Amino acid sequence: MTAKDIRTQRLDLAGTRVFATPGAGPVRRAAIAGATRAWLTDVYTDAVGQREGVALAAVGSLARGWSGPLSDLDLVLVHNGRSIPAGDLTELADRLWYPVWDSGLVLDHSVRSVAQCRAVAGEDLSAATALLDLTVVAGDDALVETVRSGVGRDWRSRARTRLPAFVETVRERHRRHGDLSQQLQPDLKEALGGLRDVTVLRALTRAWLADQPHGSVDPALECLLDVRDALHVVTGRGRDRLVAQEHDAVTALLGLTDPDDLLTKVSSAARTIAWALESTMRRAGQSQRARTLRVGPRQPRLTPLGHGLHAHDGEVVLGDPRRVSSEPSLPLRAAVVAARSQLPLAPMTLTNLARSPQPLEPWAPEVLSLLTDLLASRSGLAPVWEGLDQVGVIERWLPEWAGVRCRPQRNPVHEHTVDRHLLATVEQAGALSRDVARPDLLLLAALLHDIGKIAGARDHARTGAGLAGPILDRWGLPEGERDLVVLLVREHLMLIELATRRDLADPATALAVCDLVGEDAETFELLRALTIADARAAGPAAWTDWRATLVDTLTGQVRAHLTGQAPAADVPVLSDPVSDEEGRLAAAEGRAHVRVEASTFGWTVTVQAPDRRGVFADTAGLLATQGFVVRRAKLVTVGDLAVDEWVVESPGGDVPQPERLVAGLLRLAAEDRSLLVDLWRTRRPRTVPERTPARSQAGTRAFVVPGTHESTLVEVRSADRPGLLHDIGRALGEADVDVRSAHVATVADQTLNTFRLTDREGEPLAPAAVARAISAIIDACDG
């Protein structure tokens, strides 16, 4: 076999026909490893022959039986340090390595004596964990066994002193590469819960500091290895990062129906490995402390926490496991105690709690009270919930949890999977519980608000409301309170949508909220708290200072209507702009007048100019070319005078210069478009589309918002780019449509813009004009 044939053979052995077959992964990897070893044996025989005191050994994926189609080769030429002269060793190594390089496979190689192997393992923790798996490929078996057993003895004898440094290297890797279970483009190897962590688990158990985790880790490992193998096949490269462009192909190869199913499987496997790693590192730490503090057997030191539960060496343990068969509420009780103590439940305690009977339905009030107590535990909630989730307790309380567990979120503002986002929202809601009359209902709504983000759901809020009702009935919530929580789940998006996409100067916006909450102030405060908790839990892109100000503005208006309390005076509302004498004089002379004033989050730019088609588009274009980000705009026409007010941010810290804007508008009115050439240059080329998953090629969405009478309200959702507002304004002008106001929100490179449109007479658009306007907007956004 030639050098290049082995790469082809490894890919052939990964045959696409077996990827979707259960149990085919280990067979496939064994075949790849067998072929690789056979080829390397031939290479070794040609290069070294039958010389004694030398052997070719493998570490890494080949040694562990994890060989993928294009996995790297990690090889060590081991020698006894005396049989072969140094010069001959160099020559032998070259004859070995060159055929491997010629194969196209990535090679990591070294030449070491037995003593050098042990010395390197003693100094380098990563080298030590690798050499624990050292396996002979060809040559002297006894020599390789001597190295492996020596490294193993050294590892065990020094494990307790090296454990803190070892754990810190693992934590540092996780900080660099992130959490695999929460990534849309996961790093299958280095991230938390990835393949590297399984080698850490094995290293800890080989140090005799902890037992090997049983059961769920092996299927999780096989899942990640199958995904990595499929990634190698579809890319033709030995990659470990599952980038978005490969989701569809890998999904198809694995026989799955949807890329979200793929990411869900990867996330679930990563969570299982991460949880096993965390519990194993705790076991190792306990073993280290037990040997350090006292030699010989000792009585466990238990600190009573109440209800038969105790704190022991950083965990919560159950004193009498026999109680689980007679106390259905014991898992909830134990969870509350552990979360309040900021301690995880011990693995054996979790195993015992998983055997407890299900509480009778509907739950008794004291059982439901335990659940809300658990949800109120803030930062102690997530680790305790994760442990209960790993042993299946959560799905017994809440079967609908299976639909959102590890479910990815394609919305770029979200940093977490659906289930992690729900827990984060509960934690944020706990911080706002003093602002509402019924914090228990707020916490239940936070837990369930995205329960409808399941496969196939088109409107997750309404789907979630349909699921929440039966859930709350099982939990024994009284009917009136149940209906209130269902309302919060169904409408949890409305407050932020109205605040960011509607005209806050229009009384109808606040009245819409009041109608939504049934004119009830307590219901509104619950909705407001849930809105803030949801946005904060999503990530920094979802809850900016600007969005917070808009919500506060709307909150003040709604409270004023519901309670008679006047809104705060310093909350900015963009009312209709008014002309002034200076602006009217400038317009009479055929020129513009610009006034710039500082505002809470940037600048308010008031433009007064002779009314003409395209003044909105031209102003938007000028602001974009000068580096300003438009947040809101309000436009009116008084006779022949256009009075436009813009709220802009300045990422670069610049102050808008009235003189530049006036000069620019004068040139644009004279049809000198050269000022906007930078916008055209910075647009994304449309002739060569980016390679992105099919699901992200949806294009612009534009639709009419019903319920308005004085004008036509159009909402636009599109990818952001420089000059977008300018292009939309130009397109609407050419469609003979006037823009009366614009509300602009840009989140994670996506724009959510609302335009209030009229015809030239100031009336709402006729149906045919609406169709032309929508078509013009989509064409302007998508080209």
Which range, 18-27, 75-84, 394-403, is most confident?
394-403
| Residues 351 and 469 reside in one and the same domain | yes
- pLDDT score at 698: 52
| Residues 151 and 179 reside in one and the same domain | no
Query: How is residue 638 written in tokens?
Result: 């008084």
Kindly report the average pLDDT of the chain as a whole number. Answer: 88
Contacts of 74 (CB under 8 A, 6+ apart): 58, 59, 60, 61, 62, 63, 108, 109, 130
- pLDDT score at 680: 62
| Residues 499 and 601 reside in one and the same domain | no
517 domain-assigned = no
pLDDT of 763 > 50? The answer is yes
Q: How many domains does the chain have?
A: 4
Query: Is residue 427 within 8 Å of 443, Cβ to Cβ?
Result: no
518 domain-assigned = no
| Among 107, 133, 156, residue at a domain's last position | 156
| Among 140, 156, 172, residue at a domain's last position | 156
- Cβ atoms within 10 Å of 367's Cβ, excluding its own: 19
For 610-661, give the DSSP string: E--TTHHHHHHHHHHHTT-EEEEEEEEEETTEEEEEEEEE-TT-PPP-HHHH
Mean per-residue pLDDT for 127-149?
Answer: 94
pLDDT band at 154 (very low <50, low <70, confident <90, very high): very high
Query: Is residue 754 within 8 Å of 711, Cβ to Cβ?
Result: no
pLDDT tens for 342-354 read 999 999 999 999 9
| Residues 320 and 269 reside in one and the same domain | no
Angle at 619 between CA 618 and CA 620, to 5 degrees: 90
Residue 69 is part of which domain span?
3-156
- Looking at the chain, the whole-number percentage of residues with pLDDT higher than 90 is 58
Mean per-residue pLDDT for 223-248?
Answer: 94
| Residues 407 and 473 reside in one and the same domain | yes
| Residues 283 and 316 reside in one and the same domain | no
| Residues 371 and 227 reside in one and the same domain | no
- pLDDT score at 216: 84
- Looking at the chain, the whole-number percentage of residues with pLDDT higher than 70 is 91
- Cβ atoms within 10 Å of 644's Cβ, excluding its own: 24
| Residues 347 and 452 reside in one and the same domain | yes
pLDDT of 540 > 70? The answer is yes
pLDDT tens for 424-474 read 999 999 999 888 999 999 999 999 999 999 998 999 999 999 999 999 999
Q: Please, what's the b/e burial string for 590-622 (b: 16 or more CB within 10 A of its CB; e: otherwise)? A: ebbbbbbeebebbbbbbbbbbeebbbbbbbbbb
Within its chain, how far is the Cα of 348 from the centroid? 31
Within its chain, how far is the Cα of 634 from the centroid? 35
| Residues 609 and 669 reside in one and the same domain | yes
pLDDT tens for 384-417 read 999 999 999 999 999 999 999 999 998 778 889 9
| Residues 152 and 165 reside in one and the same domain | no
576 domain-assigned = no
238 domain-assigned = yes
| Among 260, 292, 324, residue at a domain's last position | 292
- pLDDT score at 109: 94
Of 469, 471, 493, nearest to 483 (Cα)? 469
567 domain-assigned = no
Contacts of 652 (CB under 8 A, 6+ apart): 627
544 domain-assigned = no
Helices 615-625 and 724-734: crossing angle in degrees, nearest 10, is 170
434 domain-assigned = yes
pLDDT tens for 288-328 read 776 554 555 556 688 999 889 999 988 999 989 889 888 99
For the chain, how far is it from start to end, CA to CA, in angstroms?
A: 54
| Residues 352 and 483 reside in one and the same domain | yes
pLDDT of 15 > 80? The answer is no
- pLDDT score at 675: 81
Residue 714 phi/psi, 5° resolution? -120, 130
pLDDT of 730 > 70? The answer is yes
32 domain-assigned = yes
Within its chain, how far is the Cα of 122 from the centroid? 38
Query: How is residue 22 written in tokens?
Result: 């259960």
Query: Is residue 370 within 8 Å of 333, Cβ to Cβ?
Result: yes
| Residues 429 and 343 reside in one and the same domain | yes
Mean per-residue pLDDT for 678-682?
Answer: 61
Mean per-residue pLDDT for 497-501?
Answer: 87
Give the domain CATH number at 369: 1.10.3090
Q: How many residues does the chain have?
A: 783
